[in-house]
Amino acid sequence: MTLKCEELLAFALRIAEQAATMMQQARETKAFSADYKADHELVTSTDLAIDRYLCGEISAAYPSHCILSEESSPNLLLGEAPTWVIDPIDGTVNYAHQHRHVAVSIALYVDGQRFLGVVHAPFLEECYWAVKGQGAYLNGARLKLTDTVSLRNALVATGFPYQKNALEPLIKRVSNVLHQCQDIRRNGSAALDLCWLAAGRLQAYYESVKPWDMAAGALIACEAGAVLGRYDDVTSDWPLEINGDALLVCVPSLYEPMQQVLALD
Ligand code: IPD
Ligand code: CA
Ligand code: CA
């Protein structure tokens, strides 16, 4: 399939910027409400408004493409058509609590592979993007990881699920990381964790997340030179390229050491 890469990237950057503006405006005017969609899982009216905006723009511009969206189509199966994978707000809890670590995440998969990714964080004034094989960028500057790092000076990010029924292994892994690495961060946006890894501010990231949390950030991290693998078994049915189970993304030299740190014996 011939896809116009520059046109697609320009489109994704444009709708991400508008989504970012919507986030800012709703926060400035306090024009949003928050609700729970599951036990502990928050959703705000801004998540839903941005979802409607993004889906409308994508359907109008690319009617033959599919959309896998956290808020409106989370069960879509990846088929043959190019598929947009969107998280209208990654970092909803941060957003609701006036924190700055919040982003819109937009990815495009083609033939089941990551093709482009945009992560725009309005309160940090950072827009990350990558196209497969063409590198990763932050506000127009190319990102390239340096890999002179040991476990001892690795800053490691992770996150915790909304469901609180299986915390024991998580806590064991956090304990291992605290004992063997420099420190740990729980910043509240998986998409930004992956981008901050790409920017060299973190050296490893691990967590089990959903496809929309990781789709764009995974491409951005890999295009900056990170490796992507697993620290445990994949248990959900998503195809691997889009599967966020037991994700371990880090600078190449830390991949095996981090697998050992995260192994539970
Ligand atoms: C969440 C964030 C968080 C991660 C959670 C995600 P949301 O996404 O990415 O960092 O730890 O697993 O669900 O709910 O803010 O879109
Ligand atoms: Ca998310
Ligand atoms: Ca979200």
What are 238's two structure tokens? 């998503």
- Residues 108 and 23: their CA atoms lie apart, in Å, by 22
> Would you kindly state where each structural domain of the chain is located, as residue ranges?
5-143, 151-262
What is the mean predicted confidence (pLDDT) over 17-43? 84
Q: Where are the alpha helices (DSSP H) in the chain?
A: 5-28, 45-61, 92-96, 167-180, 190-198, 211-223, 255-262
User: Residue 161: pLDDT above 90?
Assistant: no
Range in 137-146, 158-167, 227-236 with the lowest mean pLDDT: 158-167
Domain 151-262 falls in which CATH fold?
D-Maltodextrin-Binding Protein; domain 2 (3.40.190)
Mean model confidence pLDDT for the chain: 94
Instruction: Name the closest-CA residue to atom 8, ligand 1.
Output: 90
The alpha carbon of 137 and the centre of ligand 3 are apart by a number of angstroms equal to 23
Instruction: Give the three-state DSSP class for 200.
Output: coil
Which of 190, 2, 231 lies closest to 91 in space, CA to CA?
A: 190
Q: What residues does ligand 1 touch, defined as CB less than 6 Å away? A: 87, 90-92, 159-161, 188-190, 207, 209, 213
What are 67's two structure tokens? 């959309």
Return phi, psi of residue 237, to 5°.
-90, 0
HEC-encoded secondary structure of 77-113? CCCCCCEEEEEEEECHHHHHCCCCCCEEEEEEEECCE
Instruction: Give the three-state DSSP class for 159.
Output: coil
| CB neighbourhood size of 183 (10 A) | 10
What are 148's two structure tokens? 């002179």
DSSP string, 169-185: HHHHHHHHHHHHSSEEE
Q: Which amino acid is at 21?
A: T
The alpha carbon of 172 and the centre of ligand 2 are apart by a number of angstroms equal to 24
* pLDDT tens track for 61-72: 999 999 999 989
| 90 annotated as ligand-binding | yes
Using 50, 70 and 90 to split pLDDT, how confident is the model at 1?
A: low
User: Residue 59: pLDDT above 90?
Assistant: yes
| 70 annotated as ligand-binding | yes
The alpha carbon of 104 and the centre of ligand 1 are apart by a number of angstroms equal to 12
Q: Which residue among 70, 123, 189 is best mutated to probe the pocket of ligand 1, counting the most ligand atoms within 8 A of its Cβ?
A: 189
Tokens 């320009």 belong to residue: 10
- Residues 173 and 217: their CA atoms lie apart, in Å, by 23
pLDDT recorded at residue 146: 85
CATH 3.20.20.70, applies to 5-143? no
Q: Cα dist. 78→70, 122, 160, 177, 239 in Å?
A: 14, 29, 26, 34, 8
